[in-house]
Amino acid sequence: MQIATTIAEVRTQVKAWRREGLTVGLVPTMGYLHAGHASLVDRAAADCDRVVVSVFVNPTQFAPGEDLEAYPRDFTHDCAVLEKHGCDLVFHPSVEEMYPPDASAYVELLSEMPKQLCGKTRPTHFRGVCTVVAKLFHIVTPDKAFFGQKDAQQLAIIRRMVRDLSYDIEVVGCPIVREADGLAMSSRNTYLSPQERKAALVLSQAVRLGQDMYAKGETDAEIVLHAMRAHIAAEPLAKIDYVCAVDNETMMPVLALCEGTLVAMAVYIGKTRLIDNFITGA
Ligand code: PAF
């Protein structure tokens, strides 16, 4: 497995693969890899001849006061995970390599999509995500790019960016990977104290509650969301940011659940903000 820190190194390697007629998959990550990331790399290795994984904690998607400095990092461990899961090239650039000091170009969807759900409390987050993902797409020029369904709004926004900017890249959404007790895997789970770790189960329990209600025939979004919110609110360490039902393509709120509706939540457990979701009927 090759490790590249410069854009030029990645371009040289990808061009060499292209000359051999090989297909290239990209898995963008911010590192501190867990089984959820590993599942994306597995899928990329199954679908593509060569796999590039970027490990870059992207400053432009963090607002001042968010956890950019505290965000967990362990590049040695990341490389061990990536080697095991069939990654061919790790792209681990510095901030200066990705963003020249006077960089001022951004990629941003101007529709309502990035203003919904997480965008309400993180208004500049998706501009940062789109910008770094657009840059990675230009640098790696993958045939396919792999993203987790846990970040459902991010996935929908990237699909829309790919469509609007005519990238010739297939965006592949991959299922949420959960711990044995249901907690969705996240690098931020590492912030949780043992007590908070137990409290965090309210998210996946609320997901199951919503799924069960829909499976039993309840399609009134407010009834389902009210039950999910009540379950979460009963946990003293939990503070709801949002629990919403939206159209999975536009992220706009819906009143009735139908097959393919996204039911998504963000909940603070202590100071840690966690997200989870399900798609009805999936
Ligand atoms: O999902 C993430 O880890 C990040 O938002 C991404 C897509 C790697 C962009 O920095």
Q: In testing the pocket of ligand 1, which one of 26, 151, 171, 177 has its CB within 8 Å of the most ligand atoms? A: 151
CB of 201 closer than 8 Å to CB of 181: yes
Q: Which residues are catalytic?
A: 37
How many A from CA of 129 to the centre of ligand 1?
6
128 CA from centroid of ligand 1 (Å): 9
Atom of ligand 1 nearest to the CA of 54: 8
- 129 Cα nearest atom in ligand 1: 9
Would the CB of 153 count as within 6 Å of ligand 1? no
Where do the domains of the chain lie, and which CATH numbers do they carry? 2-174 (3.40.50.620), 187-276 (3.30.1300.10)
Written as one letter, the residue type at 161 is M
The pLDDT value recorded for residue 282 is 87
Q: Is 40 in the pocket of ligand 1 (CB under 6 A)?
A: no
Closest residue to atom 5 of ligand 1, CA basis: 129
* Averaged pLDDT, groups of 10, the chain, 282 residues long: 98 98 99 98 98 98 96 98 98 98 98 98 98 99 98 98 98 98 97 98 98 98 98 98 98 98 98 98 90
